[in-house]
A = this chain, B = another copy of it.
Amino acid sequence: MEDKYTNYGNIKIGFGKNPAIVVIDFQRAFTDQKFAMGGAPLIERAVENTQQLLISARAKAVPVVKCIMGYGSIIEMPHWKVAACHDLILGRPECEFDKRIHEPSYDITIVKSGPSIFFQTPVITILTTKHIDTIIVTGCVTSGCVRASIIDSFQYGFKTVVAEDCVGDHEERAHKENLRDVERRYADITTSSQVIKYLHDLKK
């Protein structure tokens, strides 16, 4: 049965000419140990690597689109099975960006209400006005909002690249399984150092 999978992943996508970086949910609910879902080691690693990647991106004037998940009130939520998501109310510290990746004078900020940064947000319009062809995905959680955002980046027609060490999860197993799934179908998986090299060489 397994060899049916020889049909998967046999095409490489590559980088395009006009990339944007998306940063998924690096907000204190997930990056600050103080909160129920905050501060897992793989997420901590991802924040630190993304911090470096964003310095390179901003230096080359590559757009950085960062999102938080947040709601005006609990009645605006879809049917979350994760009780801690009920704390993601705008104005609370759970919805603040992690300072390490936040550059408010440069970055574009999106408030999203579903797992995907593209779902019911203005991201597509922002990317269209800038003629973006490539999305580089960073953020958390790999098996949740990152996975959903990768699917949508692919569905919208972008070349989609995931920097493996810039995305994180509460669990290594879920992290790896999800990257395996998406690499077979939708996205190239690479590292932050490869992305930084690509950004450095980019002609803009």
Interface residues in chain A, defined as those with a beta carbon under 8 Å from any beta carbon in chain B: 1-2, 4-5, 7-13, 18, 36-37, 40-41, 72-73, 75-84, 108-109, 111, 113-116, 119-129, 131, 133, 143-144, 147-148, 151-152, 154-160, 170-171, 173-174, 177-178, 180-181, 183-187
B37 touching A82, Cβ below 8 Å: no
A5 to B76, CA, bound (A): 24
B81 touching A185, Cβ below 8 Å: yes
B128 touching A157, Cβ below 8 Å: yes
Work out how many copies of this chain go into the complex: 4
Least CB distance, A87 to chain B, in whole angstroms: 10
A122 touching B76, Cβ below 8 Å: yes
A-B pairs, top 9 by smallest CB distance, nearest first, are A128-B157, A114-B155, A125-B157, A129-B157, A113-B122, A177-B177, A4-B170, A7-B84, A11-B81
* Residue in B7, B73, B120, B171 whose beta carbon sits within 8 Å of that of A37 in the complex: B7
A155 touching B81, Cβ below 8 Å: no
